[in-house]
Structure 1
Amino acid sequence: MLQTLLAHQWKADFRSSVFQKSIVLNIILGLLILYFGSIFLVLGFKLDDILVKFFPNQNPIAVFNGALLYYFCIDLFFRFMIQEMPVLAIQPYLHLPVPRSKLVHYVLLKSIPSFLNLLPLLVFVPFMVSAVVPAFGLGVALLWLTALFACTLLNNYLLLYFKRQLSSKPLYTLAFGAVILAVMVLNYYDLLPLQTVSRAAFGAILEQPWLVAVPVVLLAAAYGINFKFLSNNTYPEELKVRKVTQASGSDFAFLNRFGEIGRLVELELKLIWRHKRPKSLLTISVLFLFYGMLFYRNDTYMDGYGILIFVGIMITGSSVFNYGQFLPGWQSAHFDALLTQRISPYQFYRAKYWLFVPVMVLTYLLALPYGLFGYKIILINTAALLYNIGVNVFVVFFFSVYNTERLDLSKGSAFNWQGVGISKFVMMMPMMVLPILIYLPFGLTGMPLVGLATIAGLGLLGVIFQRQLLHWTANHFMKHKYKLATGFRQSS
């Protein structure tokens, strides 16, 4: 049965129009995988010599074991960013005598031969052959490799489970992320030295091979949790039939008090929550909160203002940069229907505006602890917030009428180039560079606070005249709406 399901999935993928349209991109990705795969393979065979060169007084196997927990933590982060969920359209099989358990097993097993699971083997296997086998023998080396691959698959199934829980029980995923973050913070302050723990844990497997049972049992538990969750949620998600005559406000009932604008904001929030790509961009926007850690701990950057203005713009405006750059492509699938509704362009863009403003304010509030590194950070981020609300939002709205490529919301963000064009790069330049250019004359003449006040003042003017700017945006949209509609049809 698993072989039959695999054959059906293979045919569905290769016969789809999406695969035919992206065949050139798939070839390029295949060549890139071969290129980087060969690099990792060579690195694996040479890794023991490299470790001896950089750590001459240490055992290369012990050094490698000490880095494994760091690798698996980084692996969790990248999986959360780019790993897509394995799915199977089970409706064609529901009328057949196919046990639910086989369908669930197939969905779980098809995630194993993924790039993120197989790439580490290109380093692990050569390193095992060149370093571990001569020191401990083939049998112990294979058990050690089994433990490493079990940990890789454990990451795979943990991320699959928590990403599935993200839609129904987001607190579970938040708690999981908090645990990983806490581990990294404890390691940073040497309260939980990951290197020492990692070296001891994986070194113990080489000394006591029976300990390989620990990661294998954890992997089996993670697989079982995923199996139980999918078994309990497979049929309700596929068979539930809804009769909806109009948009319901039950999920965000508090928005009803804001009338038509509130209803449009509610629909936008539902669109974000129910589709992969906007949800992925939302996750990236959250991660931008940690962008300041790259700069605020460096005294070289803290001595000036210019680079900190750039950081403040990026942190407080992450939602505009990531989600706003694709407006109005998020509605491209039903853009023609949108034009026939009794919704004016002014209402459309005003709803977008009031979607961005609370998010940017929330981001600003969450970034306030950065003020512990220096009071100037709070001043800079305040000016950046006002500039994003009063200027950058309308820059995004101006360039939005040139986004004529249709977006497939079911796709994730990884290797997805839909909607990416020259207008995005042109739009980014004034958003990121212009506030620094405004500040520059004041900074060069020794008046940095006046430069910050100028940036904040321009943003404040945009906030005060936001109704006039929204009407100007609506008129600009009216001149290009038919070009947008034609572009969305032709790229579908």
Structure 2
Amino acid sequence: MLLTLLSHQWKANYRSSVFQKGLVLNIIMGLLILYFGAIFLVLGLALHKLLGKVVPGESAVAVLNGVLLYYFLSDLFFRFLLQELPVLAVQPYLHLPIPKSRLIHFVLLKSVPSVFNLIFLLIFVPFMVSAVVPAYGAGAALAWLFAIIGLTFLNNFLLIYFKRQLSTKPILTLLFGVAVAGLILLDYLGVFSLYTLSQSVFGTVLQYPVLAMVPVLLVAGAYLLNYRFLKAHTYPEELTVRQQTKVEGERLAFLGRFGELGKLIELELKLIWRHKRPKSLLTMSVFFLFYGLIFYRNEAYLDGFGMLIFVGIVMTGMPIFNYGQFVPSWQSNHFDAILTRRISPYQFYAAKFWIFVPVATLAYMLTLPYGLISYKIILINTATLLYNIGVNVFIIFFFSVYNTTRLDLSKGSAFNWQGVGASRFVMMLPMMVLPILLYLPFKFLGVPFMGIAAIGLVGLSGFVLQKQLLQWSAGWFLKHKYKLATGFREQ
């Protein structure tokens, strides 16, 4: 049965109309995997010597053990951004005399030969042979490697489970993310040291190899979670109910009270919710909220203002930047229909504006805990929030008329360069540079807080004049709408 399902998957991919289009991309991805695989292999062969030079006087094995928990947390982060969920078109098989359990096991086992699960072996196997075996013996070294492999597959199945839960129980996924973020924050605040904990955990495995079975039990538990979830969500009638629930969108009905503008906002939110690429872009934006942990730990940055302004712009504006860079390409599939409906360009842009404002405000509120580090962070992030919703939004609208590339919304954003052009990079320059330029004259005059106030006032002015700026954006769109329509039709 396993071979039959594999052959069906291969035929479905090979006979797909997009197979030839994706062939070149797959070849490039394969070459990149080989390139990075060679780098990781060389790193694994030389890692024990590098660690000896970086941390002289301490065992290379102990140093690596200390960073393994950081590695697994980073692995979770990158998996969330880049790893695709294993899928199988289940419905064609449900009426056949095939046990549902076999289909579910096939879906889950498809994720095992993932690059994320295998490429780490190119680092840890050479390191085990060169450093762990001489110090602790072959048996303990194999148990150590076995524990690392177990935790890698634990990450794999946990990520799959919580990514699937994101569509049905987003609160559960949010709590999982908060738990991981809380762990990092506690380490940052010095409540406990992840480095010391990691050394203790993996050092104990080397002392007592039988403990390598603990990660195996955890993997079995995570696998069982996924199995039960998939088994409960593969009944034909249950699939139909879920489809109908998504289409009706009852939770967004309150937006109808705001007239045509509310209906446009509702349609935009449904577009985001139903398609992979906009959802993955907004999900990626969440991780930029942890951007401050990189910079705020550096006292040199806290003494000044320039870098804090940059970080504030990024953290309070990344959802706007990520989604706004493809306006109006999100509607490229039905752009002609928009032009023929009685929807004014002003309403079109106003709907997007009133989506951006609450999203940026929510991002700002989530950055407020950074104020425990320094009160300047709250002042600067408040000013950058105002600047993002009063100035940067309209910069996005200005450059939006140059987005003439049609988008395939069913594809994720990871390694997807469709629609990415020079205008995206040019757009980022004024969005990042202009607030710094506003601040610099006040810095040279010795009144940096006045510079922060100037950024906030300029943003507040733009927000107050939103009606006039939206009218200007609508007029700018009218001058280029036929160029946009032509570009969307030709692709």
SS at 1:89 equivalent: coil
| Paired position in structure 2 for 1:472 | 472
CA contact (8 A) 1:183 1:192 kept: no
Q: How far is the alpha carbon of 1:135 from its aligned partner?
A: 4.2
Offset from partner CA, 1:388-421 (integer Å, 9 cap, x none): 2221111111111111112222222211111110
What is the rounded CA distance, in whole Å, between the counterparts of 2:59 and 2:295 in structure 1?
35
| Paired position in structure 2 for 1:308 | 308
What is the rounded CA distance, in whole Å, between the counterparts of 1:488 and 1:121 in structure 2?
44
Any stretches of 5+ residues in structure 1 without a counterpart?
A: none
Q: Are 2:402 and 1:415 aligned?
A: no
Q: Are 2:323 and 1:291 aligned?
A: no
Q: What does residue range 402-441 of structure 1 map to in structure 2 within 5 Å?
A: 402-441=402-441
Q: How far is the alpha carbon of 1:455 from its aligned partner?
A: 2.8
Look up the equivalent residue of 1:417 and give its one-letter code: W
SS at 1:23 equivalent: helix
What is the rounded CA distance, in whole Å, between the counterparts of 2:69 and 2:243 in structure 1?
49
What is the rounded CA distance, in whole Å, between the counterparts of 1:351 and 1:70 in structure 2?
41
| Paired position in structure 2 for 1:25 | 25
Offset from partner CA, 1:465-485 (integer Å, 9 cap, x none): 211221221222222222222
CA contact (8 A) 2:280 2:413 kept: yes
Look up the equivalent residue of 1:72 and give its one-letter code: F
What is the rounded CA distance, in whole Å, between the counterparts of 2:378 and 2:210 in structure 1?
54
| Paired position in structure 1 for 2:177 | 177
| Paired position in structure 2 for 1:344 | 344
Alpha-carbon spacing, 1:143–1:242, altered in 2? closer, same or farther (3 Å): closer
Q: Are 2:104 and 1:112 aligned?
A: no
Alpha-carbon spacing, 1:145–1:267, altered in 2? closer, same or farther (3 Å): same
Q: CA RMSD in A?
A: 2.5
SS at 2:478 equivalent: helix
| Paired position in structure 2 for 1:204 | 204
What is the rounded CA distance, in whole Å, between the counterparts of 2:223 and 2:368 in structure 1?
40
Offset from partner CA, 1:308-360 (integer Å, 9 cap, x none): 22222222222211111111111222222222333222111110010011112
Q: Are 2:298 and 1:322 aligned?
A: no
Q: How far is the alpha carbon of 1:177 from its aligned partner?
A: 1.6
CA contact (8 A) 2:233 2:239 kept: no
What is the rounded CA distance, in whole Å, between the counterparts of 1:98 and 1:133 in structure 2?
46
Look up the equivalent residue of 2:358 and give its one-letter code: P
- Which sits farther off after the overlay, 396-405 or 66-75? 66-75
Alpha-carbon spacing, 1:40–1:242, altered in 2? closer, same or farther (3 Å): closer
| Paired position in structure 1 for 2:228 | 228
Look up the equivalent residue of 1:338 and give its one-letter code: I
What is the rounded CA distance, in whole Å, between the counterparts of 1:256 and 1:273 in structure 2?
18
| Paired position in structure 1 for 2:35 | 35
Q: How far is the alpha carbon of 1:293 from its aligned partner?
A: 3.1
Look up the equivalent residue of 1:227 and give its one-letter code: Y
Q: How far is the alpha carbon of 1:295 from its aligned partner?
A: 3.0
Look up the equivalent residue of 1:104 and give its one-letter code: I
Look up the equivalent residue of 1:51 and give its one-letter code: L
What is the rounded CA distance, in whole Å, between the counterparts of 2:315 and 2:46 in structure 1?
40
Give the structure-2-normalised TM-score. Answer: 0.92
SS at 1:234 equivalent: coil
What is the rounded CA distance, in whole Å, between the counterparts of 2:12 and 2:41 in structure 1?
32
Q: How far is the alpha carbon of 1:283 from its aligned partner?
A: 2.0
Q: How far is the alpha carbon of 1:439 from its aligned partner?
A: 2.5
SS at 1:252 equivalent: helix
Look up the equivalent residue of 1:393 and give its one-letter code: V
What is the rounded CA distance, in whole Å, between the counterparts of 2:165 and 2:400 in structure 1?
33
| Paired position in structure 1 for 2:399 | 399
What is the rounded CA distance, in whole Å, between the counterparts of 1:187 and 1:460 in structure 2?
37
Q: Are 2:445 and 1:445 aligned?
A: yes
Offset from partner CA, 1:139-179 (integer Å, 9 cap, x none): 44333322211110010000110111111111211221222
Offset from partner CA, 1:34-71 (integer Å, 9 cap, x none): 11101111221222233333444333333333322221
- Which sits farther off after the overlay, 190-199 or 275-284? 190-199
| Paired position in structure 2 for 1:385 | 385
Q: How far is the alpha carbon of 1:249 from its aligned partner?
A: 5.1
Q: Are 2:369 and 1:369 aligned?
A: yes
Look up the equivalent residue of 1:205 and give its one-letter code: V
What is the rounded CA distance, in whole Å, between the counterparts of 1:478 and 1:21 in structure 2?
34
What is the rounded CA distance, in whole Å, between the counterparts of 1:122 and 1:197 in structure 2?
25
- Which sits farther off after the overlay, 21-30 or 209-218? 21-30
Look up the equivalent residue of 2:294 and give its one-letter code: L
**Identical aligned pairs, as a percentage?**
66
What is the rounded CA distance, in whole Å, between the counterparts of 2:287 and 2:78 in structure 1?
12
What is the rounded CA distance, in whole Å, between the counterparts of 1:312 and 1:489 in structure 2?
38
| Paired position in structure 2 for 1:2 | 2
